[in-house]
Every structure is written in C-alpha cells, then in structure tokens.
Amino acid sequence: MADELLVETHGAIEVVTLNRPERLNAMNAGLIAAMQDYFRGLQERLEVRVVILRGAGRAFCAGLDLSPDSWPREPGMGGVQAGWKTQRAIATVMQLMRSCPQPVIALGHGAACGGGFSLLLSSDVRIAAPDLKMNAAYIKIGLGGCDMGSSYFLPRLVGASLAAELLLTGNFIHAERALASGLVSRVVDHDALLDAGMALAQDMLMTSPMGLRLTKDALNRNIDAPGFEAALALEDRQQVMLGQTEDFREATRAFAEKRPPQYRDR
C-alpha cells in the first residue's frame, strides 16, 4: 500500500488512514490510486469484515489537491480529457466504497471539504469529532455544488431542503447541526473517535459474516427501490437464503444455549 494510505489490521477490522497530513489529506493521484486499489481488493478479502476510515493530522480530508504536480497529465492529453480522467478516478473511489461488501465507518474531524465530504457521504456510518465541518466546496471554486455523489447522497440523508442549502451555497455544516439532521450518528471527543469506531465495529462483528454483507447490500439497493413491494421482495429472498446457512443454525443453537455464536461464514 502506498505511503498516502495506511492500513492497520485488527483481526477482522481494518483501520484505513488518509496519510497526507501536511496537505490536510487532500487527494492527489497517488492517494486516489491507493484508495481504488484498496476498496477494489475488498471484494476478494472477506476475512476483513468492517473498515474504519479516518484522516491523519488536523483534518479528515480537505478535498482535491489543486497543486500543479498532484495530477500529472499524459503528454499530448487535452485539458478536457485530463479533467475527465481525474473526475472519473475520484468518482470510482466512491463507487467502490458503496459496492464493497464491508461496512465502512468514517471518523470525521476537522475539515471535510469537497471530495472529503463525499468520502464521508459514501461511508455507511459517520462518527464526528466536535470540530468536524463539512461542505460541498466545489461551488466555491466556480464549479457546480453537485459532485462526487453529493447530489445523490445528501437528499437521501438529510432531506431536500438542507441538501439544497448546502449544495447551492457551499456553506459549512458543523458537527452539532450534522448530528441534529442525522448526517452523523454521534459526536464524540476527538481522542475518543477511534475507540467509538472500534466499539461499533465490534458490535458489527457479533453478526454473521454473510448476514452483515447482505444487510449492506440490501440497504444500498432498497434506498433506490421502486416501491415498498420491491423492497420486501429483496428482503424476503435475503432472509430465506440466510436461513439456509450453517451460521443461522449455529446462531439459533447459541441463543438456546445462552452463549455467543461461533460463526464460520458457511
């Protein structure tokens, strides 16, 4: 893994750290490539069951690194073509985060701007430090406020009015308002962020491995379900399938015997 992205393994939990603190973890080509490789690889690494995402230093992620050497252009490539390549590279990270089978718990602190905001939005659960401030910074630099999934996630997470306010202005939303609007699950002291993320991850590990993976899958699919009946149909199929696993039988035995289940992902 590149120096821009650090990965620590704690059993079935991996802690992934954006590691460009001197640039407030702003995204450059190296960091984006490392994130693509990591999240794409999770499809085949089912021994990893939960991912915790955080940023090193004073901020979670200040967005796109706009310094000239951060996104080298291939010789002879036009400006539009180079911009499209960069745009798609970053968007792919968000897609990979949503499609990986592991829940992603994001720990937000300091600034989460532009692409950093979208990294938080693309995560499954967000825990904030009191100093977290987030914004759709793109509109502040002459672009549109809808970028990197922001126009998809925000209305679903906080409703149309607050989403429009944030995307049309680029104004910051701070931890307290984010908690009140449901954008983050809780606010904890900065020093307690990792402990809170690990505790939540441990709660997730108490579930069956396939049950956890399919729950994330169903949540992703049913947020766009065409209706209630379609959502129920997916849930029905998921439950019938999980009911045929060895882990389901182990869970029922453990419940009757008043002991923790010993899951084997079978």
What's the pLDDT tens digit per position in 90-138? Answer: 999 999 999 999 999 999 999 999 999 999 999 999 999 999 999 999 8
Q: In one letter, which amino acid is 147?
A: D
DSSP for residue 27: B
For residues 89 and 99, give the distance between their C-alpha atoms in angstroms, rounded to a whole number.
16
Share of the chain above pLDDT 70, in %: 99
Q: What is the DSSP string of 169-207?
A: H---EEHHHHHHTTSSSEE--GGGHHHHHHHHHHHHHTS
pLDDT at 141 (0 to 100): 86
**CB 135, CB 172: distance < 8 Å:** yes
- Rounded mean pLDDT of 240-244? 92
Phi-psi region of 40 (alpha: psi -120 to 50; beta: other; left: phi over 0): alpha
When pLDDT is averaged across residues 184-211 and rounded to a whole number, the result is: 98
- Residue 191: how many CB atoms within 10 A of its CB? 8
Pairing relation of β-strands 125-128 and 111-113?
A: unpaired
What values do phi and psi take at 193, rounded to 5?
-60, -55
How do residues 13-44 score in pLDDT, each as one tens digit?
Answer: 999 999 999 999 999 999 999 999 999 999 99
Which residues fall within 8 angstroms of residue 80, CB to CB, at 6 or more apart?
A: none
Query: Is the distance from CB of 142 to CB of 130 less than 8 angstroms?
Result: no
Q: What is the pLDDT of residue 2?
A: 62
**Averaged confidence pLDDT in the chain:** 94
Burial class (CB within 10 angstroms; exposed 0-12, middle 13-18, buried 19+) of 199: exposed
First to last CA, the chain: 30
Q: What gap in Å lies between CA 203 and CA 166, rounded to an integer?
A: 32
| pLDDT band at residue 1 using 50, 70 and 90 as cut-offs | very low
The one-letter amino acid code at 238 reads Q
User: Which has more confidence, 85 or 20?
Assistant: 20
Taking CA atoms, 147 is separated from 107, 115, 144, 216, in Å, by 21, 8, 7, 23
Residue whose C-alpha is closest to residue 63's, from 17, 20, 106? 20
Pairwise CA distance, residues 244 & 259, whole Å: 21
Which whole number is the average pLDDT over 184-202? 98
Q: Cβ(223)–Cβ(156) under 8 Å?
A: yes
Task: Give the separation between CA 177 and CA 200, rounded to whole angstroms.
Answer: 22
- Of 51-60, 81-90, 92-101, 176-185, the least confident: 81-90
Model-level pTM greater than 0.85?
Answer: yes
Q: Which residues contact residue 9 at a Cβ distance below 8 angstroms, ignoring those fewer than 6 apart? A: 48
The residue length of the chain stands at 266
Cα 238 vs. chain centroid, distance in angstroms? 23
Positive or negative, the Cα torsion across 155, 226, 95, 45?
A: positive
CB 159 within 8 A of CB 167: no
